[in-house]
């Protein structure tokens, strides 16, 4: 629990610091942030139908800073999430882990159109494992900056409404970083794996370079009273290798506000990357559609300067 306590405390501290800067914000800036602590628990005592005790704790932090003046528009969005759960006698295991930072600068070209430069960074906080319960062993499958995704591109953004935007870039550079040599040697996340030649053992590459086209759809709006929809769809085609295999990342969060402090949320993320092989229960390995769902109830604290 020490790791989750430290990370959740950091999320709360960032929110407090953001609140402390609220009164100093320039009028051209719009700053919003919210932090949520979600909790779920089940317990069974002498329960004839059976069942495993469980506990789940998740933390979410979202921060937005937007600057708009004249023809210039600069938006920054940071999303952090971390959570762990425990079922029965198992140790705590990670069930949520995300670092997602997006920065987009736009220069107005026409009504609702902007020339745009886009920067994005994605990774996670902690290591993740495949657990082999029958042998009490675990296998590391990812970690901080393993993978890490950094992309930089230029293109056009169309914003028909303040809460909706379409961004397309025909020229985006993406770096996939695997900062773990064992994973890199295995060729995880599409990097070149280790091999042996006449010169001996050649370790796997820790960086994969890609260049291609990128598309992003973003929608953030209260769709009903006290119900907020936040969805982001990202598509990427690598010109250098198999451009027909489009990477997909669709991340959606629906937030339901009960009162000023109590809220519920439902999250759904769908991923597809043909450079990330997945082994199914039958032992078959290959690229697959990845789906993550999360429903939680807990406390939320929001900050806004407008």
Residue 167 domain flag = yes
Can you give the pLDDT at residue 158?
98
The residue segments making up the domain with residue 232 are 67-75+97-304
Residue 7 domain flag = no
105-146: per-residue pLDDT in tens? Answer: 999 999 999 999 999 999 999 999 988 765 567 889 999 999
Residue 164 domain flag = yes
If the chain, 306 residues long, is cut into consecutive pieces of 10 residues, what is the mean pLDDT of each piece?
51 49 62 89 80 88 94 96 89 92 97 97 94 74 96 98 96 97 94 92 96 97 93 97 95 90 90 85 82 87 78
Q: What CATH number is attached to the domain comprising 238?
A: 2.40.160
Residue 137 domain flag = yes
Task: Give the CA distances from residue 158 to residues 57, 112, 113, 142, 217, in Å, rounded to whole numbers and listed in that order.
Answer: 38, 6, 5, 35, 10
How far apart, in whole angstroms, are the C-alpha atoms of residue 69 and residue 71?
A: 6
Q: Of the candidates 135, 133, 59, 70, which has an alpha carbon nearest to the alpha carbon of residue 99?
A: 59
What's the total number of domains in the chain? 1
Can you give the pLDDT at residue 109?
97
How many CB atoms lie under 10 A from the CB of residue 16? 12
Burial classification of residue 225, based on how many CB atoms lie within 10 Å of its CB (0-12 exposed, 13-18 middle, 19 or more buried): exposed
Residue 104 domain flag = yes
Residue 152 domain flag = yes
Can you give the pLDDT at residue 236?
98
Can you give the pLDDT at residue 97?
95
Eight-class DSSP state of 24 = G
Residue 11 domain flag = no
How far apart, in whole angstroms, are the C-alpha atoms of residue 287 and residue 272?
A: 7
Region of residue 223 (phi > 0: left; psi between -120 and 50: alpha; otherwise: beta): alpha
What percentage of residues in the chain have a pLDDT greater than 70? 90
Residue 92 domain flag = no
Would you state the torsion angle of the CA atoms of residues 193, 198, 201, 205, taken in this order, to the nearest 10 degrees? -30
- Inter-residue contact 93 to 86 (CB < 8 Å): yes
């Amino acid at each position: 629990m020490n790791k989750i306590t430290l990370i959740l405390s950091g999320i709360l501290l960032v929110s407090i610091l953001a609140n402390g800067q609220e009164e100093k914000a320039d009028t051209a800036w719009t700053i919003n942030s919210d932090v949520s602590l979600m909790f779920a628990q089940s317990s069974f005592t002498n329960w004839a139908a059976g069942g495993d005790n469980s506990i789940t704790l998740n933390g979410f932090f979202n921060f937005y800073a937007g600057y708009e003046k004249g023809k210039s528009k600069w938006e920054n969005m940071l999303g952090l999430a971390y959570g762990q759960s425990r079922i029965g006698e198992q140790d705590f295991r990670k069930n949520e882990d995300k670092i997602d930072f997006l920065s987009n600068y736009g220069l107005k070209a026409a009504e609702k159109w902007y020339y745009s430069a886009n920067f994005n960074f994605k990774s996670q906080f902690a290591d993740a494992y495949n657990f082999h319960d029958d042998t009490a062993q675990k296998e590391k499958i990812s970690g901080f900056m393993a993978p890490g995704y950094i992309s930089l591109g230029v293109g056009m953004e169309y914003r028909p409404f303040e809460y909706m935007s379409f961004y397309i870039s025909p020229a985006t550079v993406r770096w996939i970083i695997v900062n773990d040599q064992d994973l890199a040697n295995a060729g995880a996340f599409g990097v070149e794996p280790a091999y042996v030649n006449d010169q001996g053992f050649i370790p796997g590459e820790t960086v994969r370079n890609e260049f291609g086209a990128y598309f992003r759809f973003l929608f953030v709006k209260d769709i009903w009273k006290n119900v907020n929809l936040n969805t982001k769809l990202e598509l990427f085609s690598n010109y250098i290798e198999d451009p027909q295999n489009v990477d997909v990342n669709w991340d959606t969060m629906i937030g339901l506000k009960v009162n000023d402090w109590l809220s519920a949320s439902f999250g759904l993320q769908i991923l597809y990357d043909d450079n990330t092989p997945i082994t199914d229960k039958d032992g078959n390995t290959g690229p697959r559609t990845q789906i993550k769902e999360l429903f939680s109830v807990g406390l939320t604290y929001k900050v806004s300067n407008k």
